[in-house]
Amino acid sequence: MTRAVTFLHVADVHLDAPLKGLSRYEAAPAERIRQAGRGAFDQLIQKCLEHRVDFLLLAGDLLDGKGQDFNTVLYLAAGFRRLQEADIEVFVVLGNHDAEHDLLREKLFPANVTLFPSSQAMTCHRPHLGVAVHGQSHANKAETRNLAAHFPPALPDVFNIGLLHTALTGRPGHESYAPCSEEDLLLLGYHYWALGHVHQRELVRARDPVILFPGTLQGRHIRETGVKGASLVEVDTDGAVRLEHLPLDLVRWHTLELGVGEYSTPDDCLEGAIRAMEQLVMEDVLLVVRLRLTGCCPWYGQWMIEEVKWERELRLRAQNVGGELLWLERVINDSTPLREQNDRGDDFALDPLQLVAELSRELIADEAGMKKLGEVFNPLVSMFRSPLFVGADTLPLTETEWLQRAIQRAEVLVGEGLRSKNRGRL
């Protein structure tokens, strides 16, 4: 190489992606979460300027579908214009979400932006940098072609980069768009593969060549947990690559598992949960926590019966200790009750209790039955849309997961009632 180069590799920005379901959560900071994508994009542009990178690679899914919000595209263009003023190029391929977004087909971006076509792979050779970037966009939202199979071979005496939106041979939770194998990439002789589409950061190969998914720029929901951002790539004159992950997210999603076995009461568990969440709080990042209770405890029934009360108490306490930097998204009780025992030490369970538990498990496991139960509630959902029922329209009466939890609560209530009557006879 004629000189060292520095660039940023980012993917799956999903700018202005719509939020779903937050309205049902009490005091949800929905607007702050909604604006986090733009904030992360602003930080990306600022990092490009601070590190004086030679160029920025965007490996697909800048946007989030075929929405026609012209302001979103203008926001992207304004960021790219800041880079143009600093003589920083931007190389972009369209992913499966971008491919159906009509506005990206128009000439809205400044001259420093290269948008790779979908008809065939294209090479951008930059002799002054000693770099060649090869890329191809998706033609539609379900790209089935092996795009990598038709990329051109590496150019001699330069650092070759492949820019591609793909799940390779497949990744859990991601559609297998633009499928290809690692061997397909190796055959081309490139030095770095800048991939997108997989939202969790993954270093597929550390050298010869480097193959990297940087992950999404900003997590959008609880399934996208952990630190999100971009990868800073420094290449020296010998072609050696150094990677650094730059956290750029303003909202971070986290699943916290808490074993309940060490707590003798729900109040003790609440204190333990607050202490655990308080330790996670960070400066300048809103931490959104889903608390999952695991293990066995003697107060399982008490929690299930009053879980709305306990969740509200936890959310209030979380706000008190974390302020605007902590929000409890949800509590999931995956704990199990301790079984009662008789004087001989054997498990003690009345037949009616066993029957109730078995009926509950059978109904929850019956997908068709749960779907039919949801359909039964459809008339209620329509009725709750009336102005007479303030707030009732947020009840997810037709969602399977909510119904399953309702059945579990009903099982506990029936069980507690049977146990109470049985104790009264003794």
Coil, strand, or helix at residue 113?
Answer: strand
pLDDT at res. 304: 78
Model pTM?
Answer: 0.81
What per-residue confidence (pLDDT) applies to 363? 67
- At 426, the pLDDT band (50, 70, 90 cuts) reads very low
Give 308's pLDDT tier (boundaries 50, 70, 90).
confident
H/E stretch holding 5: strand 5-10
For the residues 213-225, what does the mean pLDDT come to?
94
Chain segment 72-106, per-residue pLDDT in tens? 989 999 999 999 999 999 999 999 888 767 777 66
Q: Which of 61-75, 185-199, 312-326 tops mean pLDDT?
A: 185-199
419, 298 contact by CB (below 8 A): no
Strand 159-165 vs strand 192-196: parallel, antiparallel, or unpaired?
parallel
Count of C-beta atoms within a 10 Å radius of residue 245:
16
Q: Average pLDDT in the 211-236 region? A: 95
Q: Which amino acid is it at 419?
A: R
User: What pLDDT shows up at residue 343?
Assistant: 45
Structure tokens at 299: 């107060």
Domain spans, the chain: 5-247, 251-425
Question: From residue 111, how far is each of 80, 108, 131, 211 by CA, in Å?
Answer: 9, 9, 19, 28
Cβ 222 vs Cβ 253: under 8 Å: yes
124-147: average pLDDT = 94
Check residue 359 and give its pLDDT.
63
Q: Which of 204, 207, 188, 187 is nearest to 196 (CA)?
A: 204
For residues 189-206, average pLDDT: 96
Give tens-digit pLDDT for 153-190: 999 999 999 999 999 988 887 788 899 999 999 999 99
Phi-psi region of 351 (alpha: psi -120 to 50; beta: other; left: phi over 0): alpha
Average pLDDT, the chain: 85
Do strands 251-259 and 286-294 pair parallel, antiparallel, or not at all (unpaired)? parallel
Mean pLDDT (whole number) for 260-289: 93
Quick one: which of 58, 62, 45, 51 has its CA closest to 6?
51
pLDDT digits (tens, 9 = 90+) for 334-387: 888 775 544 444 444 444 555 566 666 666 677 777 677 667 766 666 665 555
Q: What is the percent of the chain with per-residue pLDDT over 90, rounded to a whole number? A: 57
- Per residue in 6-44, pLDDT (tens digit) is 999 999 999 988 776 666 666 778 888 989 999 999 999
Contact of 178 with 195, CB cutoff 8 Å: no
Question: For the residues 242-265, what does the mean pLDDT come to?
Answer: 95
pLDDT tier at 196 (50, 70, 90 boundaries)? very high
The 8-class DSSP code of residue 313 comes to: H
DSSP output for 377-424:
THHHHHHHTSTTSTTGGG--TT-HHHHHHHHHHHHHHHHHHHHHHHHH
CB under 8 Å to 294, separation ≥6 — which residues? 257, 258, 259, 260, 334, 335
String of b and e for 163-172 (b: at least 16 CB within 10 Å)? bbbbbbeebe
pLDDT of residue 157: 93
Tell me what percent of the residues of the chain surpass a pLDDT of 70.
78
Helices and strands per DSSP (H, E), number in the chain: 10, 17
Q: Which CATH class is domain 5-247?
A: alpha beta
pLDDT at 48: 98
Asked whether 211 and 182 are in contact (CB, 8 A), the reply is yes
Give the pLDDT of residue 306: 83
Residue 252 phi, psi dihedral angles, 5° rounding: -120, 130
Q: Are 137 and 93 in contact (CB under 8 A)?
A: yes
Residue 96, pLDDT score: 85
